[in-house]
Amino acid sequence: MVTLKNRILNDARCLPGGILKVDGLLNHQVDPQLMMQIAQEFAHRFSHIRVDKILTVESSGIAPALLTAYLMNIPMVFAKKRIPVTMANNYYGAEVVSFTKGNSYQMVISCEYLTKGESVLFIDDFLAHGNTTRAILNICSGAGVVVGGFGIVIEKVFQGGGDWLRSQDYLVESLVKITSLESETIEMS
Amino acid sequence: MVTLKNRILNDARCLPGGILKVDGLLNHQVDPQLMMQIAQEFAHRFSHIRVDKILTVESSGIAPALLTAYLMNIPMVFAKKRIPVTMANNYYGAEVVSFTKGNSYQMVISCEYLTKGESVLFIDDFLAHGNTTRAILNICSGAGVVVGGFGIVIEKVFQGGGDWLRSQDYLVESLVKITSLESETIEMS
């Protein structure tokens, strides 16, 4: 996606430790028109598979997931990073270690919003080491739900999460692939 | 908004302690078509004021805020409930006590995304006691930014936050006003 690549080259910054700072367009300030173009691309790339529902994780996945769900005319469900007081004990959960935040948390989705036999598309802003996607696979497996594909806005290829998913025969579509962030330079393929 | 009222009557549930559970349509599973109708209503109701940017708070405000920003063709910024490692010390912050979660947290917006002299529209899923809106007012005041209006999906009138804002001459547009949740019955005006 040329538009997105150019925006990353213009607006993103490299921080020490392999962190790409895109909070001017994606995960703090959001450009809704760019986000709609991203959603159109996802809707196009996954038009050949069955998708009953879009899944994502709060908070930065919500914008691209919502617009993709809007275009595909299906519901969107966002996993929570904390168990809400309103959820009682009726949820599927999995542990996630966050790379950027340096902590771990219990990711949960209410049992009400995953139905056995459904096929879902997971959308997220980043794919790095793949900890979030593994937690989503655990949750969906527990619910009897198939993950038909992973739509990723920015894949940090050098952190291996995408390679692992592809080695397990999952369909992964990443709009931009970052191959290196060394020496504070962004390299994309 | 009749569509939204009907969806609340059909899908929402009252929980003890004045909590309205709308996680089937608004803050866990999201109906993107309903959300677009909500955004159209906000764009219409605030078409007469200057809006440079939409503000909201992660996570449940993001969906209505994003679509409103999309329709108004302006950026959306979501306040964070934790200070990201990528933000350094360059932020405006305010303390918020959460009614549903029973805890308090530091809400922050990066100084990069609030510019002195801007006029913003704050969009959120709920307005209850008004703790979040007061924090937003503190943050915007610190940044020299004017809050031109508050667009709320569901106002819990009996908790007083909306009355306080209106008493301070703020423009508040709530799509649905819940007047009572007593005896586990939803009453709306």
Mean pLDDT to the nearest integer, A122-131 = 97
Interface of chain A toward chain B, CB-CB under 8 angstroms:
15, 19, 21, 23-24, 28-33, 35-36, 58-59, 62-63, 66-67, 69-70, 73-78, 80, 82, 84-87, 100-102, 109-110, 112-113
**pLDDT for residue A100:** 67
Q: How far is A11 from chain B (nearest CA, A)?
A: 12
Residues 6+ apart with CB under 8 A from B40: B71
Q: Could you tell me the CATH number of the domain that includes residue A128? A: 3.40.50.2020
Contact between A100 and B84 using a beta-carbon 8 Å cutoff: yes
Q: Which two tokens stand for residue B178?
A: 């819940």
Does a structural domain hold residue B29? yes
Asked whether residue B91 is assigned to any structural domain, the reply reads: no
- B12 falls within a domain: yes
Q: Which two tokens stand for residue A46?
A: 């996954």
Residue A103 has pLDDT above 90, yes or no: no
Whose structure tokens read 């949960």? Answer: A108
The mean pLDDT values, 10 residues at a time, for chain B of 189 residues are: 95 88 95 98 98 97 98 98 86 88 89 98 97 97 98 97 98 97 85
Question: Is residue B143 a part of any domain in this protein?
Answer: yes
- Which sign, positive or negative, has the C-alpha torsion B108, B110, B115, B116? positive
User: Looking at the domain assignment, is residue B40 inside a domain?
Assistant: yes
Phi first, then psi: give them for residue A139, nearest 5 degrees.
-65, -45
Domain count for chain B: 1
What's the rounded Cα separation, in Å, for the pair B51 and B174?
17
CB contacts of A102 in chain B (<8 Å) are 85
Q: Give the ipTM of the model, two decimals please.
A: 0.96
Structural domain boundaries, residue A176:
2-188
Best mutation site among A7, A15, A57, A66 for testing chain B: the one with the most B CBs within 10 Å? A66
The answer to whether the CB of A53 falls within 8 A of the CB of A33 is no
pTM of the model: 0.97
Q: Which residues on chain A are in Cβ contact (under 8 Å) with B12? A: none
Average pLDDT for chain A: 95
- A68-101 per-position pLDDT tens digit: 999 999 999 999 998 887 788 899 999 998 766 7
In a domain, B180, yes or no: yes
